Structure formats: C-alpha cells, structure tokens
Chain A
Amino acid sequence: GDSVTQMEGPVTLSEEAFLTINCTYTATGYPSLFWYVQYPGEGLQLLLKATKADDKGSNKGFEATYRKETTSFHLEKGSVQVSDSAVYFCALRHPLGGNTPLVFGKGTRLSVIA
C-alpha cells in the first residue's frame, strides 16, 4: 500500500541555518503531496502542497518540489527561525474519488536554537 518515509529526528539547528527534511513516498498513480506542521500544543496545519510532478509548493519561506523520478518531496528552508520549532509531517493523498484520506509519515521534530 501507499506509504511515506521521513528522515528520523530530532533535528536541531541554530537560527539562520539551512534546513532539509527528507521525504520519500511509495504510491500507485499520481498522488498529491503535502507537508503539515504541528506547533507545540496545537493541531496539524497544512504548510504547503504540490499536486503534480515538478510542482513546487511554498509557504512561510519553506519549499518542496514534487520529484516523480526520485519519488521525493523534501522540505527546505534557507534560514530557520526559533519560531519554526515544530514537528513536520510529510503526507500523500490520492486525488481521485473525492476527499480521500491522507497517509502520513512519522514526523520529524525540528528544534531551532538561538
């Protein structure tokens, strides 16, 4: 079945460092890909998404590009801030059939220190 694999955390970075969180997926067809973020004490929030190959999703300085050839959707940010400390989840979803469930990775905890 469909699955998502993320790099193990926790990831600890200094403020203004470059961030990469790796995500690869296994799925039939052409899923949509997502990054969700969970700040401490809060629910899951959609950070960005991409719906087809070579699409780049971006939001709040974060970017991820849908790479079909490597089945990857790595999350990047050029300069992290303390406020980016959170758990990041990669997820996929099949677009057909209407409102299909999300399949999540395990999540990667990011801690940014000043």
Chain B
Amino acid sequence: EPEVTQTPSHQVTQMGQEVILRCVPISNHLYFYWYRQILGQKVEFLVSFYNNEISEKSEIFDDQFSVERPDGSNFTLKIRSTKLEDSAMYFCASSGDQPGYNSPLHFGNGTRLTVT
C-alpha cells in the first residue's frame, strides 16, 4: 500500500537556526497537510495545501513557517528561526485523489524536532 514518507525521523537543531522537514506524499494525492504534536499534548493542525497554495492555516502557522512543493513529489515545511517551543513531533499527511471529496488522511511516521 502506498504510504507517506517523512525525513529525517529525528532532527536536532539549535535555537535560531532554520530547519526544513521533508515529506513525500502519496503520489496521486492532491491535498497535503502538516500537523504537530508537542510532547504530551494534542495533535494540532498547522496548514493545508492544495493546487500549489495554502488552502487553510492555523494561528500556530505564523510568519516563521512556510510550506513548499518544489518539484511535484516533495512537500516541505520550513521553520525560519527555530524556538525552543517548536520542539515537537511533526506529521505530514496527504489525501484526496479527487478534488472536493473529503477522503481520508494518510499520515507519515513523523519527524521529531528537538530545538536546543
């Protein structure tokens, strides 16, 4: 069964550094998402992306965050200047091989980001 893959599985970075988290969604999916889970807390929606633009974002997704689909297969989340509170597990997800139909989300295994 096709799956969403995320790299790296664990990223350690220093406060103030830029970090890029990478995801390869399922190939025929049209909708892409990033979620995060701070340790011990709920899984929170960050952003959704469709047709090469952001379709929805949460208040967490401020100017420090950006997403990109640079080459038709990768979907990246960039944090420009990391803060300690950005330490979390980041999940990528994809869905929807048909526009407008609310199909299930498929999640990757996550990237654990640790900011020191």
Contact = CB atoms under 8 A, between A and B. Distances in A.
Given A43-B110, A44-B107, A45-B107, A98 B100 contact: yes
A99 B30 CA distance: 10
Given A43-B6, A43-B108, A44-B43, 6 more contacts: A44-B107, A99-B31, A100-B102, A102-B45, A103-B45, A107-B42
Given A99-B48, A99-B96, A103-B45, A49 B104 contact: yes
Contact of A93 (B41, B102, B110): B102
Interface residues of A, number: 24
Interface size class on chain B is: 20 to 34
A44 B56 CA distance: 21
Interface in B85-111: 91, 93, 95-96, 99-105, 107-110
Interface string B67-100: 0000000000000000000000001010110011
Tell me which of B43, B91, B99 has the highest count of chain A C-beta atoms within 10 A of its own C-beta. Answer: B43
B103 A99 contact: yes
Contacts of B18: none
A32 interface: yes
Nearest to A94: B102
A66 interface: no
A21 B27 CA distance: 35
B109 A42 contact: yes
Contacts of B91: 43-44
